[in-house]
Structure 1
Amino acid sequence: MRNKIDIKIVSALLVVAVLALGVALYVRWNPSAVPEQTTESTTQEPASGVAVDDTANGPQHPVPSTTENSEDAAGAQKPAPLTQETVGSEIAKRWKSFFGSDEGHELIRIENFVRHFVLMFENATETKIPAQATIFETVNGDFKTTANGDMVRINEANYRRYDSYAALLKSADLKTISSFYVRIYPLLQSAYAEMGRKGYFNDRVIDVLDQVIAAKEPAANASLIIDGGRFVFEDAELEAAPAVQKVLYRIGPAHTALLKERLKELRSLLASSQ
């Protein structure tokens, strides 16, 4: 049976949004013989298990002001306001300034970027992320495992399937990306509210980043089993871990180290200094 993997967030991605934040990548195994079933509700509704933030005392991590973290030089003409419909085209236009080259477009979904970006973070602490609630395209190639009798584990060759995502993350100009995040933040906050969520979206982002950064190192040689037509961790505790942490068990130690290093840099740019 051939197996394919869907990229999920965070940091993902690579967790936490390489394009607007650089993170949150979540991986879900799904054999090709079992078609993925998604409904309109999975792409529009936030996960029911996500706690609603209390905003009575204001945001814990207000985004940096545009004067403190501006994309443009002093005196430059202020860029035109963006809408949810025009963010994708602006990302395509700015791609080289984000990543230093024109490569990597195929890794990111820029259509409906704002909504998918917010959904990715909303679902990041669930055990699964709906297939459409992510900004990442499906990783290429077949999922690689090693079998020893009844024992199945991830083959180390599988980690190389994420090399292109890691290269994109490594090349990312996080200062430029975080400035773009500040620019589109009103759209992100509006989309968050439209989903019926209370609170400050950037607080949610920082919480997800913190979970990835603080996650324990992946257990070596974790065993896999097939459950419901897809691979899952045999260890129930591992399988029940939040999506943003399970990604670390699936992308390999080298990519995990890079992800954490870059997320620490990103957090310092997006979190309040208070």
Structure 2
Amino acid sequence: MKKKQSSIGQWLVSGVVVVLAIAVGVFIWRKATQAGGEPTPVASSTAPGSAGAGPAAASTAIRHPIAQAAPAPASTAPLPALDASDTDVASALLALGGNALDGLLQRDQIIRRAVATVDALPRQSVGTNILPLKTPKGAFLVEQADGAITLSPRNAERYGPYMQVLESIDPRALVAWYVAHYPLFQQAYRDLGYPKGYFNDRLIVAIDDMLAAPVPDAPVRLVQPKVFYRYADPGLEARSAGQRLLMRLGAEDETRVKAKLRQIRALLTGATLPAAAASAG
């Protein structure tokens, strides 16, 4: 008989987060519980230039200049200082994401959190102190039968509010907002430890990495060697943090997220990435 595992303090919860504070459509993860308050997110959990950074993060040659993005900036008003931008950024994102975003958004250091998360997603792990959104409510669900542990399809219900925000966002308006606020993202990226880096290039790396995530055959088998669950397939477990999280959404929601990512990528680069090519690997 199948049994639901429900102790939230015993394993990893995959937090579905649309990055740029739901703005640029990539995802992060964190532990289910954490004692005390969250530290100030001033850097990613993995040092710049370490595994997963890749040439795009370290190179000084700009591959995807933000000036080539199609939408015009939404406003010509002067930008606030980065460390005084939270009120302005939260207001703009809530206008883009609707009421569903209101209870999900972390209201402090929004851009710094988003930048640190984007930088970390193509790596093997993402720190717990850099989340731009709150994690899903409820426990991470698995099912057990005949000695096997599998990912429960009921987890999709926990991600419903995040998918609602994702579907409600107009990609063109979203990218226009991002372009208008890009200097703040660039400053946050340099402050993160990339004085010669270009954040939009790293964003495209993160998006492309997510698009390359496979769609695992259901049911997805898991193992629990210690406290946290892992994919039973070593090939899936070896994927980046962003890909592992995307795979946990289930095939239907993973397809929906990838479609939105391709729209955003096309607007940012002026080039449309075919679905088959994006999902290869």
Shorter-chain TM-score: what band?
A: 0.7 to 0.9
Q: Which amino acid aligns with 2:7?
A: R
SS in 2 for 1:230: coil
Among candidates 214, 220, 225, match of residue 218 of structure 2: 220
Consecutive unaligned residues in structure 2, runs of 5 or more: 1-5, 272-281
Q: Deviations over 1:200-225 (max 9, x none)?
A: 11011011111222322223222112
SS in 1 for 2:155: helix
Is the alpha carbon distance of 1:94 and 1:15 closer, same or farther for their aligned partners in structure 2, counting shifts above 3 Å? closer
Residue 132 of structure 1 corresponds to which residue in structure 2? 129
Aligned 8 A contact 1:2 1:142 in 2 = yes
Q: Which amino acid aligns with 1:146?
A: E
Residue 241 of structure 2 corresponds to which residue in structure 1? 243
SS in 1 for 2:181: helix
- Say whether residues 1:60 and 2:58 are aligned partners: no
Q: Deviations over 1:181-240 (max 9, x none)?
A: 112211211121122223211011011111222322223222112233111112222112
Among candidates 19, 22, 26, match of residue 19 of structure 1: 22
The residue correspondences of 1:68-83 to structure 2 (distance < 5 A) are: 69-72=72-75, 78-83=76-81
Residue 93 of structure 1 corresponds to which residue in structure 2? 91
Among candidates 167, 178, 194, match of residue 164 of structure 2: 167
Residue 107 of structure 1 corresponds to which residue in structure 2? 104
Is the alpha carbon distance of 1:233 and 1:43 closer, same or farther for their aligned partners in structure 2, counting shifts above 3 Å? farther
Among candidates 163, 180, 183, match of residue 180 of structure 2: 183
TM, length-normalised to structure 1: 0.83
Is the alpha carbon distance of 1:20 and 1:64 closer, same or farther for their aligned partners in structure 2, counting shifts above 3 Å? farther
Aligned 8 A contact 1:95 1:102 in 2 = no
Whole-Å separation in 1 of the counterparts to 2:21 and 2:86: 14
Whole-Å separation in 2 of the counterparts to 1:7 and 1:180: 27
Q: Which deviates further from its counterpart, 42-51 or 88-97?
A: 42-51
Whole-Å separation in 1 of the counterparts to 2:35 and 2:17: 21
Aligned 8 A contact 2:142 2:151 in 1 = yes
Q: Deviations over 1:224-272 (max 9, x none)?
A: 1223311111222211210111122211112111101111110111125
Whole-Å separation in 2 of the counterparts to 1:37 and 1:127: 25
Q: Which deviates further from its counterpart, 107-116 or 87-96?
A: 87-96
Residue 199 of structure 1 corresponds to which residue in structure 2? 197
Q: Which amino acid aligns with 1:267?
A: R
Aligned 8 A contact 1:17 1:25 in 2 = no
Aligned alpha-carbon RMSD (Å)? 2.8
Q: Deviations over 1:103-130 (max 9, x none)?
A: 3211121310111111101110112211
Is the alpha carbon distance of 1:162 and 1:95 closer, same or farther for their aligned partners in structure 2, counting shifts above 3 Å? same
Alignment size in residue pairs: 258
Aligned 8 A contact 2:64 2:201 in 1 = yes
Whole-Å separation in 1 of the counterparts to 2:182 and 2:258: 23
SS in 1 for 2:100: coil
Aligned 8 A contact 1:18 1:172 in 2 = no
Residue 43 of structure 2 corresponds to which residue in structure 1? 44
Aligned 8 A contact 1:151 1:223 in 2 = yes
Residue 75 of structure 1 corresponds to which residue in structure 2? none
Is the alpha carbon distance of 1:36 and 1:128 closer, same or farther for their aligned partners in structure 2, counting shifts above 3 Å? farther
- Say whether residues 1:255 and 2:258 are aligned partners: no
Whole-Å separation in 2 of the counterparts to 1:109 and 1:40: 13
Residue 145 of structure 1 corresponds to which residue in structure 2? 142
SS in 1 for 2:222: strand
Aligned 8 A contact 2:122 2:205 in 1 = no
Whole-Å separation in 2 of the counterparts to 1:251 and 1:126: 19
